[in-house]
Structure 1
Amino acid sequence: MFDGDLPRRTVMKAAVAIGSAGALSACLNRADGADAPTGDPDAKPSRQHAWREHVRHDDHGNTQLPAHQILIYFDIDGAGPPADDDRAGLVETLDGLDRAYEWSNDGLLHSVAYSPSYFDRFDVDPAGVSLPEPSALSPFESPTFDRQDAVLHLASDRPEVVLAADRALRGERETANGVTVPSLTDVATIDSRRTGFVGAGLPAENQDAAGVPDSRPVPEASPLFMGFTAGFRGNQATESYVTLDSGPFAGGTTKVIANIRQRLDDWYDEQSYDERVTELFSPGHAENDLVEGVGETLGADSGIDRFVDDVVADAKEYGRVGHAQKAARANRDPEGNVRLLRRHFESTDDIGSEKAVASLHFPSLQRTIAEFETVRRSMNGTDATAATPAVRQRVNNGILEYIFARRRGYFLVPPRRHRALPTPDPE
């Protein structure tokens, strides 16, 4: 099934994308037979989104997200509120995952989140949480909206872990890591399965995809297809900041998941390195030589706060503005705290007759969906387009020329105590 001469990471990523029994076998054969650490349900944190203290970090304290990730979108069987038996069944499934794997990047991190459509089953909104229907956030996008009842997010540095958990959830095996995990399909119908990867080396090894030039320009050191690192600690909200602090869902958070198609031929073939720095960060970053390589010189903070007030002036002076500087000006509260916690990862899911398609899965955590929408609208750069004809709706306007929103969904991530088919007011 897999060429024995292929690099191990390429085989692992391909196996996760395929998700078959043969793929799992190939993964296990490549994993040196090592078992993942098992878990203790009582040792899991109360927040489903508590990941930072359980994953790797670089020398600057930046979070290194698990390399292999799967999103499973599903609908609860039947109409109306879910039955108690269904709720008990999901409890057994999630508890099975908790017993099968340690809560870590070496085991399995996971969370389940619920959409507005799920709460429509009760004809009541979730108490204390604003959970609107997803909508278009710019005049030039028309994404498909994910309105499935729920999404289960799996993440691990071990591809065999996410694969075994995924296959157990889909009813294709009875155990994961030697522990019985009842199938998700006992209570739900799986609508969509989406996979991805993140980390230095993985995008370079998987850049044979539509949307990336044939010249294979993605640097080996880059964790993402666009050639730069992201998710600097100083430019991310903390887990505590995005956590709901009152109401029955206190300890939870809200989650937006978008899928963004990337078309990077012009990004690499027409833009110089300095122009890419300008459009991803800001003209000031390029002018002051703040970025080297994939951004290693930035440490724990991109330094974008220096340039958030310069968008209109930069548009007039340079005829370009930066993606990060546009977003960051709306991504700070009055005290200067960052509002969004982004956990994005790459994908080549769309396997057609010729090649896969480069895209980005973009999960974002925040206290309110409105905060995400405000930051996303700030990316439109409307004030920059009004300042000079050089900056247009997409051209010279950050990275909007190269990214295209294909899907978007809004979700509530309950605290662990309410993670199994919650009612709108579970307490």
Structure 2
Amino acid sequence: MSACLSRERSLLGDEETAEPTAEDSETDAGPESRMVPRGDPSALPDAIHKWSEYLVLDAHGNTVPPQQQLVLGLSYEGSNPPTAEEREQVDAAFETLERAFQWGTGGATGATFNRGLLYLIGYAPRYFERFGDVPDSLLRPETMLEEVGEDPEKTDGFDATVVLTSDVGSVVLAAEEALMGRKETVNGIEVEGSLDGVFSVAERRTGFAGKGIPADKLDHEEIPESAPLSMGFKSGFTDSLPSEDGVKIEEGPFAGGTTLALSRLRLNLDEWYDHDHEERTDRMFCPAHSSEEVGPDGSGLGSDSGITEEDVDNIEEHAEEHGVVGHSQKVARARGEDDFSPKILRRSEGFATDAPEHTGFNFTSVQRRLESFVEARKAMNVEEYDVDVAPEDHGIVNYVETVNRGTYVVPTRENRALPEG
């Protein structure tokens, strides 16, 4: 994103308008960044995690995650407990973003590009421990790591996190500058409030996703030219995602909000692409899926992943017959028992651009209960199955290493500014 920062000054500066220059049009975000509509906070849903109506849809009706991703891991530096003035400052900072940029696509039917901004703000157990008890809805990250069989010391150590996403790189960068109090105006809107003095940035993570971007940015010739993610297949099929109301906390002080699992992963793409396309299809989806059916990047499946209850019930039979277990059929074990409904809603994902020494991956999901994330992650583990299948043939778990994880509660807009639980 540094290239965007140097070339898209119109949004980051203190200009009264956001009219880009000719130089701005030649950015990584493309010519669509020439127009960035402003927003209306009063028209937005109260649930910050409600993005689906404001996302681009593909030809099959699947939601398409924004291409540009920025995750800010935050350390709390405010008062104990937070003051009314600090809450007003933080709330004004987020309202500034909502006035400066439309919420995603603005809800435009048939939008093909997300010119606006979507964000999440989540608070970690560490934050709440400063003032009292951790909310019942919030699982500690070390507990989550231990329950899924990972090192409990691999917590991200943040007090809070902000996720900023858009299809326009300059929008994400401008939102960051405004949020941290480094500019007086953003997209022609006066900046009122910031996180400065209340939070500091402990870590900054950048990422990209989108059709053709991994093949262009990563040094792996085997990545399909049309793939939106670095492992070569699309994700987020409509049948595999719950509704936004389905991941909403139903009672307690954070009713209407949700929980957030933030993960930084490392991918072993060298070994992954040692397999041919048919072998990768078996491992990513299910041995019952054919390579031809899935297509080069998964788009052949349309809006349905093709994973059925029968596929889940036949894991042992597939393992014996094919010597392979699929990732999608494994995690489908964590769906609802009565209606086979998914419980985890992907919100943003992308290969990391701030870790050139390895292929990193940023992943965020929201769910009503973080225990649902635990159940899905445990379903990936080899030891959960009584089958004679080598780890490299057991879904994708052998190709994914956890760097760290964090757990957060995402309040509603009304409660987003320094909640005490």
TM-score, scaled to structure 2:
0.87
**Displacement, 1:420?**
0.5
Q: Secondary structure at the match of 2:331?
A: helix
Runs of 4+ in 1 over 6 A off after TM superposition: none
**Farther off after superposition, 272-281 or 144-153:** 144-153
Q: Deviations along 1:87-135, whole A, 9 cap, x unmatched? A: 1110111111111111123211112110011111122232x52433333
Q: Which of 302, 306, 328 is equivalent to 1:303? A: 306
**Displacement, 1:262?**
0.8
Partner of 2:161: 151
Q: Deviations along 1:309-361, whole A, 9 cap, x unmatched? A: 1222222222211111111111334222111111342233344xxx4532221
Q: Deviations along 1:41-91, whole A, 9 cap, x unmatched? A: 211111100101011101211001111111111122146322222111101
Is the Cα contact below 8 Å between 1:71 and 1:154 reproduced in 2? yes
Partner of 2:262: 257
Is the Cα contact below 8 Å between 1:261 and 1:406 reproduced in 2? yes
Q: Does 1:334 align with 2:338?
A: yes
Q: Secondary structure at the match of 1:266?
A: helix
Partner of 2:347: 343
Partner of 1:15: 3
Q: Secondary structure at the match of 1:144?
A: coil
Q: CA RMSD in A?
A: 2.1
Counterpart-to-counterpart distance in 2, 1:401 and 1:223: 21
Partner of 1:10: none
**Displacement, 1:412?**
0.3
The 1:373/1:311 distance shift into structure 2, 3 A limit, reads same
Counterpart-to-counterpart distance in 1, 2:185 and 2:363: 30
Is the Cα contact below 8 Å between 1:116 and 1:411 reproduced in 2? yes
**Displacement, 1:254?**
0.5
Counterpart-to-counterpart distance in 1, 2:178 and 2:71: 14
Partner of 2:392: 395
Is the Cα contact below 8 Å between 1:142 and 1:406 reproduced in 2? no
Unmatched 5+ stretches in structure 1: 1-12
The 1:139/1:188 distance shift into structure 2, 3 A limit, reads closer
Q: Secondary structure at the match of 1:346?
A: strand
Counterpart-to-counterpart distance in 2, 1:146 and 1:123: 21
Q: Which amino acid aligns with 2:120?
A: S
Partner of 1:68: 68
Is the Cα contact below 8 Å between 2:125 and 2:138 reproduced in 1? no
Q: Which of 129, 132, 135 is equivalent to 2:137? A: 129
Q: Deviations along 1:230-267, whole A, 9 cap, x unmatched? A: 10011111111001122231110001011111111121
Partner of 1:178: 188
Partner of 2:369: 368
Unmatched 5+ stretches in structure 2: 12-19, 26-30, 105-113
Partner of 2:99: 99
Partner of 1:238: 243
**Displacement, 1:298?**
0.5
Is the Cα contact below 8 Å between 1:257 and 1:362 reproduced in 2? yes
Counterpart-to-counterpart distance in 1, 2:150 and 2:264: 16
Q: Secondary structure at the match of 1:304?
A: coil
Is the Cα contact below 8 Å between 1:142 and 1:405 reproduced in 2? no
Q: Which amino acid aligns with 1:201?
A: G
Q: Secondary structure at the match of 1:129?
A: coil
Is the Cα contact below 8 Å between 1:312 and 1:383 reproduced in 2? no
The 1:79/1:313 distance shift into structure 2, 3 A limit, reads farther
Partner of 1:190: 201
Identity, in percent, stands at 37
Counterpart-to-counterpart distance in 1, 2:91 and 2:34: 28
Q: Which amino acid aligns with 2:232?
A: G
Q: Which amino acid aligns with 1:277?
A: T
Counterpart-to-counterpart distance in 1, 2:207 and 2:354: 11
Counterpart-to-counterpart distance in 1, 2:332 and 2:284: 12
Partner of 1:8: none
Q: Secondary structure at the match of 1:90?
A: helix
Partner of 2:51: 51
Aligned length: 392
Counterpart-to-counterpart distance in 2, 1:331 and 1:150: 28
Is the Cα contact below 8 Å between 1:196 and 1:361 reproduced in 2? yes
Q: Which amino acid aligns with 1:302?
A: S
Q: Which amino acid aligns with 1:376?
A: R
**Displacement, 1:272?**
1.4
**Farther off after superposition, 129-138 or 291-300:** 129-138
Partner of 1:4: none
Partner of 1:30: 24
Counterpart-to-counterpart distance in 1, 2:348 and 2:42: 29
The 1:308/1:110 distance shift into structure 2, 3 A limit, reads same
TM-score, scaled to structure 1:
0.86
Q: Deviations along 1:165-193, whole A, 9 cap, x unmatched? A: 11222333222111122332232111111
Counterpart-to-counterpart distance in 2, 1:348 and 1:368: 27
Q: Which amino acid aligns with 1:178?
A: G
**Displacement, 1:283?**
0.9
Q: Secondary structure at the match of 2:328?
A: helix
Is the Cα contact below 8 Å between 2:35 and 2:115 reproduced in 1? no
Is the Cα contact below 8 Å between 1:231 and 1:343 reproduced in 2? no
**Farther off after superposition, 138-147 or 294-303:** 138-147
Q: Secondary structure at the match of 2:141?
A: coil
